[in-house]
Amino acid sequence: MMQPKETGINLFMVLFKEIENINRPIQEYFMRNLDWAYKTLTDEIFDAIANNNQKQAAKELTAIRRELIKLQQITAVDLIIKFDPEWPGLRKQEKDSRPDQFRSGMVYLVMDRLDIIIEFLVNYKSIPRIPKKI
């Protein structure tokens, strides 16, 4: 049976799950995995741009952007509320939350990479096609 392809978005989700699991320490190769998730996702984005017409590429990039924004707004924000010592008022609502400066910092590192990709997707404009007959 074939294994599902690891997508960049799935790799970012795995990173957030690793941060969330307080029963296990953050692995020493976390930054390598973050770099791999970033590279995989950017490769997927540039493949979508290079291998599709403008309309199809725009459709794929919009879908990726929506998934990333959802991942950032739901998962990342939940983890910030859970671990960031600067948010004690919101943390009272979370049952299993406790301040953890290290895990909070890891969330911000992952969010920073997501921000870079989302900003690119928001600002990306394809090169207009030049008509064959002028």
- How far apart, in Å, are the Cα atoms of 99 and each of 25, 26, 105, 117? 15, 15, 11, 28
Asked if residue 130 belongs to a domain, the reply is no
Asked if residue 129 belongs to a domain, the reply is no
Asked if residue 132 belongs to a domain, the reply is no
Q: Which residue, chain included where needed, has tokens 């997508």? A: 7
Asked if residue 3 belongs to a domain, the reply is no
The structural domain count of the chain equals: 1
Range of the domain at 35: 8-22+30-123
Asked if residue 96 belongs to a domain, the reply is yes
Asked if residue 35 belongs to a domain, the reply is yes
**Environment class of 62 (CB within 10 Å of its CB; exposed 0-12, middle 13-18, buried 19+):** exposed
What residue spans of 21-134 are helical by DSSP H?
30-50, 54-70, 77-83, 88-91, 101-123
Asked if residue 131 belongs to a domain, the reply is no
Q: What number of other Cβ atoms are within 10 A of residue 121's Cβ? A: 16
pTM exceeding the 0.85 threshold for the entire prediction:
no
pLDDT in tens, the chain (134 residues): 434 568 999 999 999 999 988 888 888 899 999 999 999 999 999 999 989 888 898 899 999 999 999 999 888 888 888 887 776 655 555 555 566 788 888 999 999 999 999 999 999 877 666 667 75
